[in-house]
Amino acid sequence: MAHTERIMYVELKSDQGDHGPAWIGRVRTSKTGRTLYYRGRQLQRHQGLAGNYVDLKTREEFWVSGVKKDGRDRHWAGGGPVEIDPDVLDQYLELVNPSVRAAIRKARAIAAPDH
């Protein structure tokens, strides 16, 4: 298996419940697919209590999954903002449903109005 890159949902689970910081970003896989690389972290496949990957350096648990077309990547009981890495924004908007795309564009326009 070759290294691949995918846009994925990444959420910190350690001591966070379903409200940890979360990101949509470009994740690179190892040749075997057991290790993911994201934002300088090495996340290895692990079936823990809260997450499905563990950071090899910090031992923090993360939930990593493919993005959902309906934009509902968080657990149904969770909440909080999901940061979209700027380098994947355009590609992410192509992956999600038009209603999600419109909501994200509207929120971004409100957050950074033109002067």
Q: State the total domains in the chain.
A: 1
pLDDT band with cut points at 50, 70 and 90 for residue 72: very high
**Residue-level pLDDT at 78:** 87
Confidence of residue 4 (pLDDT cuts 50, 70, 90): very high
Q: Taking the CB of residue 10, how many other CB atoms lie within 10 A of it?
A: 25
Q: Would you say 101 and 67 are in contact if contact means Cβ atoms under 8 Å apart?
A: no
pLDDT digits (tens, 9 = 90+) for 49-62: 767 999 999 999 99
Query: In which domain, by residue range, is 60 found?
Result: 5-111
pTM higher than 0.85, yes or no? yes
Furthest-apart CA atoms within the chain: distance in Å: 49
Query: Beta strand pairing status for 53-55 and 41-45?
Result: antiparallel
- Compute CA distances 95 → 45, 69, 81, whole Å: 25, 6, 19
